[in-house]
Amino acid sequence: MNLDKEVAKIEMQKMVRGENSFVLYRCVTCYACEEYCKRGNHPFYLISDLQEKNSILPMPKPLITQWINTGIPTKKDIREFWGAVEPVISLCLFPEYINSIEGKLFEGFSIVVGRYFFCQLAYLHFGRPSIIRERLSSIIENIANHGFQEIVFFHDECYSTFTSYTQAYGIQVPFRSVHLFEYLYGRLRELEDEISPLNVKVAYQRPCSSRLAPEKEHFVDDIFNLIGVERVEREYDRENSLCCGGIIRGQQRYDLFVDVQRRNVVDMVNAEAEYCVFNCPMCFASLSEAVVKRDIKPIMMHELCRLALGEVIKS
């Protein structure tokens, strides 16, 4: 939305009063307003709550049904969990990355994965935050019952759930959440002597959920400095970064989706990026084909770090 400040202010005030606003219908759920608000308020959480209160569907009903069914926590998934000991990393709902969690960065790590660990925060995109609150407490309890004191979260949406979101809604979390990038940076420091600078130019695709934990963003630059890559200067980066487009497509706003992806990728091309580095597997799924078509190599951050350690990436 391209609103002037006065209109934005009026609409925000309406929503603060719990009233309806066109914003609730047009929001692309990019989470950016959570970061733009420097007063510790949670404008996007408010938007999502109001969408649900007013039965406003950001997406078609079948997509919402599909996602609600996908994230139902089931006991079956815990088989991956038995025998897991700290240090432990949660892969959320992304088992396809199990084989990439290896090498020096992840020596000794146990992996947990599956719907049993799914943080549920995605339902913010679907205007159904009550699902998050309905399921989250039992998931936290389940995880805590296994006695982990500290979990590294592969997906920063999980990290943000167990930090920002739970804090905003007063939900207690009895374990310490570690952001993947914070962990990677610390481990890379330990392995500093083994790093071979990559000497490549990269664009960083910032995910929506990183807006909920902006205090961790410096680790992106810290890691890049450590492994010898240049983060190219471009228009759509940092606070001004663009959505990968996945959710916008899910909202069936095809023209906007095409436009956002095009601007994003052209920006990377113009900045002469050789790699597009991802934090979020969903962003990777959404944008990787588009960057490949412009001869930019898509790669997840932990895999880039492994390259710097001279390891071979299988996938």
- Judged by CB under 8 A, the residue of 30, 177, 246, 279 near other proteins is 246
Query: Can you read off the two tokens belonging to residue 132?
Result: 């998050």
The region of 99-107, 206-214, 220-228, 288-296 touching other proteins under the rule CB under 8 A is 288-296
| Residue 195 touches other proteins, criterion: CB under 8 A | no
Interaction between residue 133 and other proteins (CB under 8 A): no
Helix (H) or strand (E) holding 303: helix 301-308
Q: At closest approach, how far in Å is the CB of 282 from other proteins?
A: 8
Count the Cβ atoms, other than its own, within 10 Å of residue 258.
Answer: 14
Q: Which of 186, 252, 270, 272 binds other proteins (CB under 8 A)?
A: 252
Backbone angles phi, psi at 272, to 5 degrees: 65, 35
Sign of CA dihedral 73, 74, 75, 77: negative
205 versus 286: smaller Cβ distance to other proteins: 286
Type of residue found at 155: H
Say how far apart CA 309 and CA 223 lie, in whole Å: 13
Residues with Cβ within 8 Å of 248's Cβ and at least 6 positions away in sequence, in order, are 28, 256, 257, 260
Applying CB under 8 A, which of residues 9, 16, 19, 60 lies at the interface with other proteins? 60
Cα 20 from Cα 56, distance rounded (Å):
10
289 lies in the binding site for other proteins (CB under 8 A): yes
Is 96 a binder of other proteins (CB under 8 A)? yes
Residues 70-89 that bind other proteins (CB under 8 A): 70, 72
User: Residue 120: how many CA atoms within 13 Å on its side-chain side?
Assistant: 21
Question: Of 121 and 213, which CB lies nearer to other proteins in the complex structure?
Answer: 121
Contacting other proteins (CB under 8 A), which of 26, 221, 254, 294?
254
Is 24 in contact with 56 (CB distance < 8 Å)? yes
Question: Under DSSP, is residue 231 helix (H, G, I), strand (E, B) or coil?
Answer: strand
Rule CB under 8 A: is residue 293 a binding residue for other proteins? Answer: yes
Choose which of 3, 37, 46, 57 interacts with other proteins (CB under 8 A).
Answer: 57
Task: Give, as one character, the DSSP assignment of residue 55.
Answer: T
Stretch that binds other proteins, among 64-72, 140-148, 180-188, 271-279 (CB under 8 A): 64-72
Binding part of the chain for other proteins, among 36-44, 190-198, 209-217, 286-294 by CB under 8 A, reads: 286-294
Work out the widest C-alpha separation in the chain, in whole angstroms: 57
Task: For residue 241, give the DSSP letter.
Answer: P
Q: Is there binding between residue 315 and other proteins (CB under 8 A)?
A: no
250 lies in the binding site for other proteins (CB under 8 A): yes
The footprint of other proteins (CB under 8 A) covers 57, 59-63, 65-66, 69-70, 72, 96, 246-247, 249-250, 252, 254, 285-286, 288-289, 293
